[in-house]
Every structure is written in C-alpha cells, then in structure tokens.
Amino acid sequence: MVRSVIKGLGSYVPPKVVTNDDLAGLMDTSHEWILTRTGIEERHFAEEGVYCSDLALEASRRAIADAGITAGDVDFIILATLSPDHHFPGTGCGLQDKLEIPPVACLDVRNQCTGFLYSLTVGDALVRTGAYQNVLVVGAEVHSSGLDFTNQGRDVAVLFGDGAGAVVLSPSPDPDRGLLYSKLYAEGKHAKALCANVWDISRKPYLTKEDLDQRRHFPSMDGKTVFKHAVTRLVETVKNTLETQGISREDIKYVIPHQANMRINQIVADRLGWPREMFLHNMQRYGNTTAASIPLLLDETYRNGMISKGDLLLVIAFGAGFTWGSALYRW
C-alpha cells in the first residue's frame, strides 16, 4: 500500500511586521479589542510589488531544500490561495515559472481557509496513483492589498496577515505513516457570510467604477455567523474523525487547527473536553493567513522540535464557502 508522506516543509513571511497598535493608527480599533477577541498581536504585510507567487516561491524553495530534492524534481504543483496574483491565469503557473523548472502540471485551489487541507487531499490522491513522485503543495496569501483599513472595514482588516507555507508530498511504502485520512466538506448556502463581491460575472461588464465606489472589492463578513458555524463544524468534524477512524483523544499528539481566531479554537477544545494546549497556535504573530496558516504552523512546530516520528497530528480547518474538513497525519 502506498501512502503519501511529507518529505519536506518550508514557510515564509514577508519581513514587515504590523502590530495592533499600528492598525489603531489607521482606524478606530485598539490592541485590547483585537487581542481579546482574536488572540492576534501582530501580522506580516508584503510590500507593494510583492505577489502571492513570490511568497509561495520562498516557502517552496525551503520545502524543496528540506526534502533534499531539487526544484526540477517537482512533478506537480498545487497552490491554494484566495489572493491570487491575477484573476487569471492561475498563480500555480506563476510559481512554476519562478521556480525555473520545466513544464509540470499546475493546479490552483480556491477553497480559502480550507484550501491547504483540500490541496493536501488532492496531492495525496495524486501520489497514491503512482503517477507523481514529488507534489509541491503550497498555501500562500497576500491579504494586505485587499483589506479596507478604514473604520468601515475594521472588523475584517484586523484579522488577516500575509505569508506562505509549503510541503513536498512523496510516496512511501509504509502503510502506518503519512496522510492516513482526510474528509472534506462544503456548504455553499452560507457563501454570502464571508466573501468579496468584486467579481460578478453575471453583470456586463462584471466590474464597474460603481463597484469600486461602493467598496465591493473589499471582503464582507458576518463575523458572528462565521464564528458560530466554525465552532459547530469543527467540533462535529473532530468527533466524526475519531469515531470513523476508531481512535481517541489520547492517540493524538497535537491538533493543528486553521489560525482564524484563538477563541474559536479554544471553544472547540472546551466543547470536546480536550486540553486547550493540544491546539497549537501561532496566529499571535501572523494573524489569519488563510491557505498558508496550516503549513506555516506545521513548519514552525516541526522546526521547534515538537514533532517526533510516530506522532499523530489532527489537522482541522473551516473557512469561507463555507468549507471545512479534517485530516490525520502520522509523522
């Protein structure tokens, strides 16, 4: 039986740090408000001229080096983002070009905060067919260009940060290691609760000056609805994972959750009756980096020496769409 394993990991955040106090200088908010409601203290923002594919490139280079392969060994690129370089073509193609490798398959995944989990699942399936040896799975975001730093957009603008994380997925003959399980969901009826309305292809033309005047290019969010559904779905998906896989909390070393809001993850832990410490966090320093959050956290956890061979990780995510899911990974 072939499993896919993470052969290498890497992450990258742009150097510029933006604190909650910095944001309070731009809009009516405060460090106290942001910290108590989200757990976020600072985030990184890319400078003008930096693309999503640039952050993806740095994270990918690190993952490729960690895997002990060269960029030319990558035979499939999956890139998850909600902040692509352009409307089209896909940002995965931009990453392939920047890696300076011969033509390979490139796939963009647009599943927001669950994007990395979706990409991991697709990458796993590709590896297990035997057709691909080194699938580069990347989550990358440049949110800072698409946030409204006025009072009107403050509920969303304080949450997000820029960054990228990547893994190289390769086949392993060991049936007990690697991605053991994943389950994904989407429920589109809640799409309006968290979205950007700038592209509306049903209108001719789809983009007008009025759209910009009405600030449709900025995201809109019903925060309480997102919060409520995130908690419900994450608790449900953890319970389903344990039940269907015949495991218990004691089998799991860490939960690697999407980094949207620390309160969401703490409430999920509390409702499950699990210790909050099992849920790892780095959103304090990066904010919500959407598709990048899980590989960024995984890379940091691994580099901090916290993961040993044989450890079982439970990965969970919830995001716009709504989309959500879980995965079990044995290190």
Give kind and range of the element (H or E) at residue 154: helix 154-157
Which of 41, 75, 148, 155 contacts ligand ACO by CB under 6 A? Answer: 155
Q: Is there binding between residue 37 and ligand ACO (CB under 6 A)?
A: yes
Interface with ligand ACO in residues 284-303 (CB under 6 A): 288, 290
Active site residue 288: yes
Residue with Cβ nearer ligand ACO (167 or 226) = 226
The single residue of 44, 229, 258, 281 carrying the catalytic annotation is 258
Active site residue 258: yes
Q: How many residues bind ligand ACO (CB under 6 A)?
A: 21
Q: How far is the CB of 126 from ligand ACO (least distance, A)?
A: 25
Interface with ligand ACO in residues 85-114 (CB under 6 A): 112-113
Q: Is there binding between residue 172 and ligand ACO (CB under 6 A)?
A: no
Q: How far is the CB of 158 from ligand ACO (least distance, A)?
A: 4
The single residue of 52, 111, 113, 134 carrying the catalytic annotation is 113
Q: Is there binding between residue 223 and ligand ACO (CB under 6 A)?
A: yes
DSSP string, 197-265: -S--TTSSSS--HHHHHTTTTSEEE-HHHHHHHHHHHHHHHHHHHHHHHT--GGG-SEEEE--S-HHHH
| 204 Cβ neighbours under 8 A, 6+ residues apart | none
Backbone angles phi, psi at 309, to 5 degrees: -55, 135
Give kind and range of the element (H or E) at residue 69: none
Residue with Cβ nearer ligand ACO (227 or 286) = 227
Query: Whose CA is closest to 140, among 230, 61, 60, 42?
Result: 60
Angle, helices 262-272 vs 31-38, to 10°: value is: 30
Which of 59, 99, 109, 226 contacts ligand ACO by CB under 6 A? Answer: 226
Q: How far is the CB of 129 from ligand ACO (least distance, A)?
A: 31
Q: Is 220 exposed, middle or buried (0-12, 13-18, 19+ CB in 10 A)?
A: middle
CB 287 within 8 A of CB 160: yes
Interface with ligand ACO in residues 13-32 (CB under 6 A): 29
Q: Which residues lie near ligand ACO (CB under 6 A)?
A: 29, 33, 37-38, 112-113, 154-155, 158-159, 194, 223-224, 226-227, 260-261, 288, 290, 319-320
